[in-house]
Amino acid sequence: RKEVEQDPGPFNVPEGATVAFNCTYSNSASQSFFWYRQDCRKEPKLLMSVYSSGNEDGRFTAQLNRASQYISLLIRDSKLSDSATYLCVVNSIKDNYGQNFVFGPGTRLSVLP
């Protein structure tokens, strides 16, 4: 089983729609969680960190469920500019060496006019 898993999509949604992505992780010792956005042929950029209590940033809401080991990202009122690949990232302790930063395979979103 991969350490971080996501539905690859693509999710094709109309402008204004609400869309949700889920991500599951296997390492119960994972400490922190992030959502990144990657545009085609560009580097990933941080969208938001995910906190235990859940957090919101404008149209974006992230939730963490430690018991079930999954993270979610909700995008409300989708814009054309939201079209991108969304990467779930999990930070965990690895082999007593330090921290490991593991990316999920990403979920592709296309927002259609």
Closest to other proteins by CB, 77 or 101: 101
Q: Is 46 in the site for other proteins (CB under 8 A)?
A: yes
- Cα 19 to chain centroid distance, Å, stands at 12
Interacting span for other proteins (CB under 8 A) from 21-29, 34-42, 52-60, 72-80: 34-42
CB of 97 to other proteins, least distance (A): 6
Q: Is 45 in the site for other proteins (CB under 8 A)?
A: yes
Residues 6+ apart with CB under 8 A from 107: 6, 7, 8, 9, 11, 21, 85, 86, 88
Per-residue contact flags (x/-) with other proteins for residues 78 to 107, judged by CB under 8 A: ---------x-x-x---x-xxxxxxxxxx-
CB 4 within 8 A of CB 25: yes
